[in-house]
């Protein structure tokens, strides 16, 4: 758990305690106003699902294959499609942006920067992904892996078994 998330959670707990004490003392205003680091709901929510995806990658049934065939190799398509595949298999309603892919790969210690993810999608991986809109510079597009992409990723994942 990183420090920012811990500070946020402790701030929420403190606010809840102050609220409960105010109700118990029949004084509906807390005695001390808490000052905490403000984070937007979007950033808190985004870090939550990113951490869930990273944890699922590390703890899923295919974890050993993923480590040996994707994370230990240099190939970018496998690293980019990995979070999409995990969402396809375990979180079917979750869509990811190129920025999410950078955050997830960074957490896995195989960082692929956002421009590289975007270029790879535009050049060779577009046929494996379904986007929610057309690509426009400066506008985020959320992608999901399609069936063709899932088959392609499984061939990357099982590449050593065929030999």
Higher-scoring residue by pLDDT: 70, 27? 70
Number of domains within the chain: 2
Task: Please compute, for residue 132, the number of CA atoms within 13 A of its CA located in the half-sphere on the CB side.
Answer: 12
Q: Is the dihedral of CA 135, 116, 100, 91 positive or negative?
A: positive
User: How much is the pLDDT for 18?
Assistant: 82
Residue 136 and residue 118 in one domain: yes
Buried b (16+ CB within 10 A) or exposed e, 88-102: beeeeebbbbbebbb
pLDDT band at 17 (very low <50, low <70, confident <90, very high): confident
Answer whether residue 105 is part of any domain: yes
Same domain assignment for residues 111 and 136: yes
What's the average model confidence in pLDDT over 113-141?
89
pLDDT in tens, 39-82: 445 555 556 899 999 999 999 999 999 999 999 998 899 999 99
CATH number at residue 59: 1.10.10
CA separation for the pair 107, 51 (Å, rounded): 8
Q: Are residues 60 and 86 in the same domain?
A: yes
Same domain, 107 and 33: no
Same domain assignment for residues 32 and 61: no
Boundaries of domain holding 33: 1-39
Q: Identify the bridge partners of residue 91 per DSSP, sorted by sequence position.
A: none
Same domain, 89 and 29: no
Averaged pLDDT of the chain: 84
Does 16 share its domain with 44? no
- Highest mean pLDDT, choosing among 4-18, 123-137, 149-163: 123-137
The DSSP-derived string for 57-70 is HHHSTTHHHHIIII
Q: Is residue 30 part of a domain?
A: yes
List the Cα angle 115/42/55 in 5-degree steps: 70
Residue 79 falls within a domain, yes or no?
yes
Query: Are 81 and 94 within one domain?
Result: yes
63 and 29 in a common domain:
no
Q: Is residue 162 part of a domain?
A: no
The pLDDT of residue 163 is above 50: no
Residues 54 and 107 sit within 8 Å (Cβ to Cβ): yes
């Amino acid at each position: 758990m990183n420090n920012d998330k811990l500070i946020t959670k402790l701030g929420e707990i403190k606010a809840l305690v102050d609220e409960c004490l105010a109700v118990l003392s029949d004084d509906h205003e807390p005695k001390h106003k808490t000052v905490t680091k403000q984070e937007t709901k979007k950033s808190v929510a985004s870090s939550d699902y990113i951490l869930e995806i990273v944890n699922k990658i590390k703890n899923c049934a295919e974890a050993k294959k993923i480590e040996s065939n994707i994370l230990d190799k240099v190939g970018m398509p496998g690293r980019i499609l990995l979070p999409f595949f995990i969402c396809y298999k375990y979180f079917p309603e979750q869509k990811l942006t190129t920025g999410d892919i950078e955050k997830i790969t960074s957490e896995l210690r195989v960082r692929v920067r956002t421009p590289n993810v975007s270029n790879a999608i535009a050049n060779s991986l577009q046929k494996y992904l379904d986007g929610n809109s057309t690509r426009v510079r400066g506008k985020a597009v959320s992608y999901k892996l399609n069936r063709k992409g899932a088959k392609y990723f499984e061939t990357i994942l099982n590449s050593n078994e065929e030999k």
